[in-house]
């Protein structure tokens, strides 16, 4: 059992003993709190997700960076949970009707874990993800073949490791809001994604903004909110 606490200054919280969940975040921001699974036990993740779902019965709640053991426990304890093993996410509840679209574009299949985390986040946060996979600039014809599809979206997330040229090229091909996500993918001394991060920060294409390394979740939240604002309620 959790205890709900509310004061005139702070929002209502659910005290689970190991965490105090923010139950009013959806009222303030439009989106419920998300469970960040890293560093939490499987039992803690399942309990937090179940409590958030109880507080928000009409829409989906999300846990990210959920390890294999915790995903197995969620399958057992949370009937109806949608579990993405590649993206390491667990979604519980009904995804809201989408408003706007987000093209989630990744350079290679090695970037798929980050891309799938991003796509799931986009859906939970109320936009329609369109996942475009394996269109890195080493084979530029693959990206150009998807140009119209990507440009039709209300926002674009470009995900790449190695030298991370994809966001710059996309920034020159379409004028939609573009969020770049560097990944910790590459040969040799790529510095766990720092090379890609610095490349994206120094993009010569205007309008490219960059989130932290492997942060598909953060990019998905931002892109979904942009897409939602692009469509009349």
Domain range list for the chain? 3-92, 101-229
Please tell me the distance from the alpha carbon of residue 41 to that of residue 146, in angstroms, as a whole number.
Answer: 41
Question: Which CATH number is 101-229's, of 3.30.479.30, 1.20.1250.20, 1.20.20.10, 3.40.50.1970?
Answer: 3.40.50.1970
- Helix, coil or strand: residue 130: strand
User: Comparing 58 with 217, which gets the higher pLDDT?
Assistant: 217
Query: pTM above 0.95?
Result: no
Q: How do beta strands 89-92 and 128-132 pair?
A: unpaired
Angle formed at CA 64 by CA 213 and CA 7, multiple of 5 degrees? 110
109 CB-near residues (< 8 Å, 6+ apart): 133, 134
* C-alpha distances out from residue 206 to 169, 170, 210, Å: 11, 10, 12
Biggest CA-to-CA distance, the chain: 58
Q: Answer left, alpha or beta for residue 164, where phi above 0 means left and psi between -120 and 50 means alpha.
A: left
Asked if 11 and 23 count as a contact pair (C-beta separation under 8 A), the reply is yes
Beta-carbon neighbour count of residue 133 at 10 Å? 18
Q: At what angle do helices 216-229 and 112-124 cross, to 10 degrees?
A: 40
pLDDT in tens, 26-62: 999 999 999 999 999 999 999 999 999 999 998 999 9
Please tell me the distance from the alpha carbon of residue 85 to that of residue 96, in angstroms, as a whole number.
Answer: 22
Q: Which of 85, 121, 83, 82 is nearest to 102 (CA)?
A: 121
Q: pLDDT value at position 222?
A: 98
pLDDT in tens, 99-133: 999 999 999 999 999 999 999 999 999 999 999 99
The band of 3, judged by pLDDT with boundaries at 50, 70 and 90, is low
């Amino acid at each position: 059992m959790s205890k709900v606490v509310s004061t005139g200054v702070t929002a209502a919280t659910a005290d689970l003993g190991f965490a105090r969940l923010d139950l009013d975040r959806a009222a303030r921001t439009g989106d419920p709190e998300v469970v960040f699974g890293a560093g939490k036990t499987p039992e803690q993740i399942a309990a937090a997700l179940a409590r958030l779902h109880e507080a928000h019965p009409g829409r989906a709640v999300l846990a990210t960076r959920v390890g294999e053991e915790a995903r197995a426990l969620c399958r057992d304890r949370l009937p109806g949970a949608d579990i993405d093993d590649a993206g390491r996410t667990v979604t519980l509840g009904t995804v809201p009707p989408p408003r706007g679209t987000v093209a989630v574009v990744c350079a290679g299949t090695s970037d798929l874990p980050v891309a799938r985390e991003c796509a799931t986040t986009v859906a939970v946060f109320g936009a329609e993800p369109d996942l475009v996979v394996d269109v890195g600039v080493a084979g530029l014809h693959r990206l150009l073949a998807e140009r119209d599809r990507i440009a039709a979206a209300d926002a674009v997330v470009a995900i790449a490791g190695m030298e991370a040229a994809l966001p710059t090229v996309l920034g020159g091909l379409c004028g939609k809001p573009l969020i770049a996500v560097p990944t910790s993918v590459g040969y040799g001394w790529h510095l766990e994604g720092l090379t890609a991060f610095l490349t994206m920060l120094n993009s010569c294409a205007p309008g490219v903004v960059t989130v932290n390394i492997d942060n598909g979740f953060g990019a998905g939240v931002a892109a979904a909110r942009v897409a939602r604002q692009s469509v009349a309620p």
